[in-house]
Amino acid sequence: AIRMTQSPSSFSASTGDRVTITCRASQGISSYLAWYQQKPGKAPKLLIYAASTLQSGVPSRFSGSGSGTDFTLTISCLQSEDFATYYCQQYYSYPPWTFGQGTKVEIK
């Protein structure tokens, strides 16, 4: 199975900050990568797929980049509603589809 590793596992940031989360795959996955946002007690929500395609309705302050093994999720101007846990997921090779361990963005 392809292993997905996110960094950092958590960090603190302030509203208005530009933040970047990194995801690394244990082998090349082309651009077959998705990002999800999960708030406490809620279901995950799809933000980005194909590494950089924004899901309908997702604010443009979210962006994704990368291909092969290294990917990033960037929030250009952090809003209060963006404090959450973010997961990357590969869908290049299956089964299994695999997720990163998550990155928690907390309020500084």
Q: Under the rule (CB under 8 A), what is the footprint of another protein?
A: 32, 34, 36, 38, 42-46, 49-50, 55, 87, 89-91, 94-102
Task: Give least dist CB 66 to another protein, A.
Answer: 16
In the complex, the smallest distance separating the C-beta of residue 15 from another protein, rounded to whole angstroms, is 26
Q: What gap in Å lies between CA 90 and CA 12, rounded to an integer?
A: 26
Closest separation between CB of residue 8 and another protein, Å?
Answer: 14
Non-local (6+) Cβ contacts of 1 within 8 A are: 93, 96, 98
- Does residue 87 contact residue 44 with C-beta atoms inside 8 Å? yes
Phi and psi at 68, nearest 5°, equal 80, -105
CB neighbours (10 Å) of residue 47?
A: 22
Residue 88's alpha-carbon distances to 1, 26, 63, 84, in angstroms, are 15, 13, 13, 13
CB closer to another protein out of 38 and 76: 38
Kindly tell me which of 83 and 97 has the beta carbon lying closer to another protein: 97
Instruction: Tell me whether residue 47 or residue 78 sits nearer to another protein (CB atom).
Output: 47
CB of 84 to another protein, least distance (A): 13
Smaller CB separation from another protein, 1 or 77: 1
